[in-house]
Amino acid sequence: MSCCAPGTEGSLQLDAARQGLPSNEELLLSSQTLDDGLHQIDLSVPDVHCGGCIKTIEDGLSALPLVQRARVNLSTKRVSVVWSPAQGDPAQIVQTLSTLGYQPHLFDLGVEGGDETLSMLVRSLAVAGFAAANIMLLSVSVWSGAEASTRDLFHWISAVIAIPALAYSGRVFFRSAFSALSHGRLNMDVPISLAVVLAFLMSLYETANSGEHAYFDASVTLLFFLLIGRTLDHVMRERARSAVKGLARLAPRGAMVVGKNGQRDFLPIEDITTGMTILLAAGDRVPVDARVVKGVSDLDCSLVNGESVAQTVTPGEVLRAGTLNLTGPLTIEALAPARQSFLAEMIRLMEVAEGAKAGYRRLADRAAQLYAPVVHLVALLSFVGWLAVSGDWQRALYIAIAVLIITCPCALALAVPVVQVVASGRLFEAGIMVKDGTAMERLAEIDSVTFDKTGTLTLGQPRLINRGDIGTRNLMLAAALGAHSRHPLSRALAAAAPDTRQAPPSFDSIKEEPGAGLEATRQGVIYRLGRANWALDPKTETADPADSYQPGQTVLSADGVFLAAFVFDDALRPDAAAAVAALRNRGLAVDMVSGDQVGIVRRLAEALGIPSFKGGVLPEAKSRHVAGLAEAGHRVLMVGDGLNDAPALVRAHVSMAPATAADVGRNAADFVFLHDSLSAVTIALDVSRKAGQLIRQNFALAILYNMIAIPTAVLGYATPLVAALAMSSSSIVVVLNSLRLRRPNPADHRAKSGKEESAVGLLAIGRGT
């Protein structure tokens, strides 16, 4: 039921069409459907400039009944909106943004245009620089003692040069300021525009009255220095976002699609839908997630798994968007549109990490929000004070202009987002995806780490080693059951199915009990595959001696009667021992909880140097273990991969999972690492801690700047030109300090070469969880 009044939806769509805004159909087609029935869409809002803009947009959209949440990413100038279709018309979203003064546009992943903002800034900078140089030459003549008539002529020539220069180059600031004022709000560009205009008008007044002093050179040069700062800030932000831009460049513009009648057409990537047949030539990147229908080729899958060795793909295998086809042509079938592809999801994760509202970010935004009214008040008081003391309104206005400029909190506004952008880029380069920007802040606070075993400390690729001890019929039953689960041991059993001409057994019903196993019904018999103490009925006599299996071992039973026991081995993750040692060296407490047998867990803990461990632990107990640590005052990082780890991952202070984890585990985790090496844990920790340190340094730099700059300007020691230089320099210093996070770390190399440096151990395990 829509919350709109009758006729409102049509009116909104008509208004949107008149204003060139996206229509309902375009919004729905470009949105992503979430698991809970909500929709999410990313809209480009190029007019976002500061923390005040972020606050205005998020508050305005959150006030709509249909909007569940709205987040603005200042770096990408994009707003991500989650809304409920049942609560209203999505046209309200674009209409609200337009009303607030931010013209929204659909974001297109497949199209990467040039940097129009940078082009405009460079052109504006060139015009301002040319005008400032010429006006400065005229000013030198005036300063050299020109006669009154010559002085007035040069002043008027300077005015003629300044007017078009200010109109063209100043639009960067004037448009933003006008948009804010026309919608009843203030932003950082309002005082800057006010300062430039006041300096020009004061100069024009002096020229019209044949005054000795005019400040055309000051107003244009001021604009020139402001544009230098804005341009450098933009360039550095784009450099910091190099990881996301690199991902976006991996999305091809389109693909060759084969129609039902065999006709071939090149379609833009946004027009490719599920089920379409695509021809993929050697050298092309996979446009969307797809399945190989025909052909054999080698693919560069380093984007997905971090491996430099090419992977051979054959019919039936799934390809991820963004991977590169190296050797042969393939015919593939699209599994999802581009906006729902693996590549699009990685980009979304990166941008969530960049734009999320961490505690530091909220603090900086609140401070920036107070900036505009405070700076105008300080400038007004400076003007009134100097006018009262000196009686010279020109000098008082000159000082007020300097105050308006020098107090711009650009450094404070950049203190957090630039660090977040650089940090998420560093983590991506190390194969670590951040799902929540606040996770880095939380990870930096941890004092203990809890590991799962199977699929976390080990690779989760077990191999059945007692196949010869199991009868063919029992092995077929176990393999057929295992095919219905994603658990590593179930997959190992499915892979060990005997090679016979018989059809695999079918079951009337199958269900999975997390942390226990699989239960199926076949011809009235209940089969269980899983932990022995769950699968077997203690009241039933077993067919084998009781010592043929352990309580936590994986067994197959029929109506509670023992049929077979299974033994597996598994390989440790690369650098597992080194990662554990590195975490302990950083002063963190490390423990392990597993559903596997206590003896097996003990042997693994001793091999890795983990002092505390628990075996035979069910999912509820894992969650209670993490909750107990939290109640004792610890901040826990939980690293796990399975369906049975999800409660513990959610309960932990922060969580991490490998990309091979079950869907529930990946969704519950705050970080997902793509490579096999466990050094991802230490890399994420080091980057998060360094990011927190740099954010605190940036805050200190911004506060120190304001403590020095504001009194200097108020006391009249800073001219508008000096103020412009100081304000731009403070922003550049903060950005340069943030970019120090990009320095290479030896741990990053270990993440890439961990397989060569680690000793792979084989462990006999049971039903590992």
pLDDT, one tens digit per residue, over 175-204 is: 888 877 877 777 777 777 887 888 788 888
> Residue 333's pLDDT is what?
92
Calculate mean pLDDT across residues 678-704.
Answer: 89
Three-class DSSP category at 381: helix
What tokens appear for 556 in the block?
A: 């197959």
**Above 50 in pLDDT, residue 73?**
yes
Q: Which of 66-75, 393-402, 533-542 is the most confident on average?
A: 393-402
Contact 397, 202 (CB under 8 A): yes
**Among 452, 596, 641, 670, the one annotated catalytic:** 452
Return the percentage of the chain with pLDDT > 90, whole number.
Answer: 12
Calculate mean pLDDT across residues 236-241.
Answer: 59
**Above 60 in pLDDT, residue 545?**
no
**Above 60 in pLDDT, residue 568?**
yes
The backbone torsions φ and ψ at residue 377, rounded to the nearest 5 degrees and listed phi first, read -65, -45
Query: Is 452 a catalytic site residue?
Result: yes
The residue ranking higher by pLDDT, 676 or 762, is 676
CB burial of 269-285 (b: ≥16 within 10 Å; e: otherwise) equals bbebeeebbbbbeeebb
HEC string for 194-263: HHHHHHHHHHHHHHHCCCCCCCHHHHHHHHHHHHHHHHHHHHHHHHHCHHHHHHHHCCCCEEEEECCCCC
Helix extents (H) in 241-329:
242-249, 302-305
Which pLDDT band, with edges at 50, 70 and 90, does 449 fall under? Answer: very high
- How far is CA 575 from each of CA 448, 562, 601, rounded to the nearest angstrom? 19, 39, 18
Sign of CA dihedral 85, 87, 88, 94: negative
Q: Which of 332-346, 442-456, 533-547 is the most confident on average?
A: 442-456
Domain topology for 422-459+573-686: Rossmann fold (3.40.50)
- Report the distance separating Cα 451 and Cα 594, nearest Å: 8
Which pLDDT band, with edges at 50, 70 and 90, does 463 fall under? Answer: confident
**Above 50 in pLDDT, residue 698?**
yes
pLDDT digits (tens, 9 = 90+) for 299-341: 877 666 555 556 788 898 888 888 888 878 899 999 988 877 7
> Residue 9's pLDDT is what?
43
* Cross-strand partners of 511: 519
Sign of CA dihedral 31, 35, 38, 43: negative
Q: Please, what is the average pLDDT of the chain?
A: 78
**Above 80 in pLDDT, residue 563?**
yes
* Tokens 């894992």 belong to residue: 622
* Cross-strand partners of 41: 81
Q: In this structure, how many other beta carbons lie within 10 angstroms of the beta carbon of residue 67?
A: 21
> Residue 527's pLDDT is what?
94
- Report the distance separating Cα 754 and Cα 763, nearest Å: 19
Q: Which of 233-237, 340-344, 671-675 is the most confident on average?
A: 671-675
- Report the distance separating Cα 439 and Cα 393, nearest Å: 53
pLDDT digits (tens, 9 = 90+) for 416-440: 777 877 888 788 888 888 876 678 8
> Residue 26's pLDDT is what?
65
Q: Which CATH number fits domain 254-352: 2.70.150.10, 2.60.120.580, 3.40.50.300, 1.10.357.10?
A: 2.70.150.10
State the number of CA atoms in the 13 A half-sphere of 630 facing the CB: 16
Torsion of CA 167, 170, 172, 174, to 10 degrees: -80
**If you ran DSSP here, which 8-state letter would residue 286 be given?**
P
Largest CA-CA distance found in the chain, in angstroms, rounded: 118
**Above 90 in pLDDT, residue 259?**
no
* Cross-strand partners of 569: 463, 764
Sign of CA dihedral 734, 172, 374, 204: positive
- The strand order across the sheet containing 297-300 reads 311-313, 297-300, 324-325
> Residue 292's pLDDT is what?
92
- Report the distance separating Cα 206 and Cα 219, nearest Å: 14
Integer-rounded Cα Rg, in Å, for the chain is 32
Calculate mean pLDDT across residues 402-406.
Answer: 81
The residue ranking higher by pLDDT, 600 or 355, is 600
Contact 308, 395 (CB under 8 A): no
CATH class name, domain 9-112: alpha beta
**Above 80 in pLDDT, residue 591?**
yes
> Residue 684's pLDDT is what?
92
Question: What architecture does CATH give domain 466-566?
Answer: 3-Layer(aba) Sandwich (3.40)
The backbone torsions φ and ψ at residue 705, rounded to the nearest 5 degrees and listed phi first, read -60, -50
Query: Cα–chain-centroid distance for residue 91?
Result: 26
* Tokens 């996301």 belong to residue: 244
Residue length, the chain? 769
**Above 50 in pLDDT, residue 11?**
no
- Report the distance separating Cα 218 and Cα 671, nearest Å: 51
Instruction: Please choose, from the candidates 427, 250, 445, 236, the residue with its C-alpha nearest in 3D space to the C-alpha of residue 350.
Output: 427
> Residue 651's pLDDT is what?
85
Sign of CA dihedral 607, 609, 611, 614: negative
Q: 556 CB contacts (<8 Å, ≥6 apart)?
A: 474, 477, 478, 481, 527, 528, 529, 535, 563, 564, 565, 566
Q: Is 618 exposed, middle or buried (0-12, 13-18, 19+ CB in 10 A)?
A: middle
Instruction: Please choose, from the candidates 45, 29, 32, 51, the residue with its C-alpha nearest in 3D space to the C-alpha of residue 413.
Output: 51
pLDDT digits (tens, 9 = 90+) for 349-374: 655 554 544 555 556 556 656 666 77
Tell whether pTM > 0.75. no
> Which of 79-83, 261-265, 540-544, 724-728 is the least confident region?
540-544
pLDDT digits (tens, 9 = 90+) for 614-651: 887 877 788 889 889 989 999 999 998 766 677 888 88
Domain ranges of the chain: 9-112, 116-244+360-421+687-758, 254-352, 422-459+573-686, 466-566
> Residue 59's pLDDT is what?
82
> Residue 450's pLDDT is what?
93
Calculate mean pLDDT across residues 107-119.
Answer: 60
> Residue 745's pLDDT is what?
58
> Residue 611's pLDDT is what?
92
> Residue 113's pLDDT is what?
47
Which pLDDT band, with edges at 50, 70 and 90, does 733 fall under? Answer: confident
* Tokens 């210093």 belong to residue: 733
Contact 732, 226 (CB under 8 A): no
